[in-house]
Structure 1
């Protein structure tokens, strides 16, 4: 078993967020393209479920869990019955909400990495 590296996990999530941001930007850019199908990336939780990272209990009272992280699949979105007059499935309001989620996730990821980096440097200095 390998140790779970928080910095590696944060880097993988940043990569996933960049791929999702690109898919959202493509959807917005093609909002008026006739017949365009909106795309999205599978949730990061599913990416983690496929990877070979496992958490282990260090003591008998601790909980164990299994998580994984692998590649990112961009797939067409479920149209949910919303088809625009141009016969495409892009709903700008939904895409802008997703873009906001990506921004908040990037900020959270960065804040967590910054906090752990500070803790690591404090330990090394002492």
Structure 2
């Protein structure tokens, strides 16, 4: 079996996708925290961005791992059936914030390189 053909990656598209992914994850974390006391509520999440990129790089395409598909996170629930852990959600929230900041930093750096390439000091 031949290795997958690599395609050039647009840093602007990559950073934009990463920022959207972090924002979606942050919204789900907020929803989980808001429902921390709701009986029977199951914590939700989306696949890690790195796992999505890895699946796409291996030639599995977007069909096998949708970056925005909401999944239930397997965790031990409370007696009322709720599976939200506030500590875990806060840690995931901090990680999502860090991912979003990285994406914005990548975007700004890429724009700076493009401006330098065309000779504009904006």
- TM tier, smaller: 0.7 to 0.9
Q: Which runs of 5+ in 1 are unaligned?
A: 55-65
Task: Give the aligned length.
Answer: 111
1:125 matched to 2:119: yes
Aligned residue among 104, 108, 112 for 2:102? 108
> C-alpha separation between the residues in 2 aligned to 1:120 and 1:67?
29
Q: Which runs of 5+ in 2 are unaligned?
A: 1-5
Show the 5 A alignment for 1:1-126.
2-51=7-56, 66=58, 70=62, 71=66, 72-79=68-75, 81=76, 83-125=77-119
> C-alpha separation between the residues in 2 aligned to 1:15 and 1:27?
18
Instruction: Calculate the TM-score normalised by the size of structure 2.
Output: 0.79
Structure showing the higher helix proportion among its residues: 2
* Kept in 2: contact 1:16–1:44 (CA 8 A): yes
RMSD, aligned CA: 2.1
Tell me which of the two structures has the higher relative contact order, counting C-alpha pairs closer than 8 angstroms and 6 or more residues apart.
2
> C-alpha separation between the residues in 1 aligned to 2:91 and 2:74?
16
Instruction: Calculate the TM-score normalised by the size of structure 1.
Output: 0.77
